[in-house]
Structure 1
Amino acid sequence: MRLVDIKQKIDKGQPLLLYFSGKQCSVCHSLKPKIRAAVTENFPKMEFLEIAAEMHPEIAAHFHVFQVPCLLVFFNQKEYIRKGGNVSVHVFINEVERLYTLYEQMKSD
């Protein structure tokens, strides 16, 4: 994954979740399948991209990611949600759902 590729995805304006993880991060490994499943089930138009922060420090630095896991959610080319550390899946999904619903309403108008 290259920074330019991520920027192109953001520029498309589609819903996008960037999931920054770490190789030695146990929370990252246990949280990722839960978040991925919840996003896939609830938000079919949202793309999920995992970025290994230690393998791509330039990408992590560009997005000001200083801890893992870190979840960044983009709609219409803007970052709307940033969560780090031990994230509640239920709370996170509720926050995304509100924005996703607004996004879908805007696209249908």
Structure 2
Amino acid sequence: MNTIQTLESFERTINTEAAVLTYFSHDTCNVCKVLKPKVENLLSKKFPLIKPIYCDIRLTPDVAASLSVFTVPTIIIWFEGHETYRFSRNIGLQELEAALQRPYALLFD
């Protein structure tokens, strides 16, 4: 996952990529550390055209605040520049996969 450094780079990514998954976390969240590689694996195997990006909310609080992200982990999925799904705290990989299947197929198949 590419790490977002600024609000401008985040907005540029959302507006230029067809599909983006943003993973919001910070380095002291143990759940986040376990979940992140699983999300990366899911994307690489089943949804390779979705661009994954990582946002450390402690290093870039302006990005998190602009999206009202107040808890971690939070995953926001964007299709064609529009927020399509948001998952926070208790995130199931099966739920995430099910949510991504239809819009991914419509956009890329």
Q: Do these two structures clear the TM 0.5 threshold for a shared fold by scoring above it? A: yes
Segments of 5+ residues of structure 2 without an aligned counterpart are: none
Q: Which runs of structure 1 show a deviation greater than 3 angstroms over 4 or more consecutive aligned residues?
A: none
In structure 1, C-alpha distance between the alignment counterparts of 2:98 and 2:76, rounded to whole Å = 15
Size of the alignment, in residue pairs? Answer: 105
User: Displacement, 1:24?
Assistant: 1.3
Q: CA RMSD in A?
A: 1.0
- 1:90 alignment partner AA: Q
1:71-104 deviation line (CA, Å, top 9, x unaligned): 0000011000000002000111110111111112
1:5-61 deviation line (CA, Å, top 9, x unaligned): 111111114110000012211110010000010011111111111111111111100
Out of 96, 101, 105, the residue aligned to residue 105 of structure 2 is: 101
SS in 2 for 1:24: coil
Segments of 5+ residues of structure 1 without an aligned counterpart are: none
Give the TM-score of the pair, scaled to structure 2: 0.91
In structure 2, C-alpha distance between the alignment counterparts of 1:97 and 1:33, rounded to whole Å = 19
Give the TM-score of the pair, scaled to structure 1: 0.91
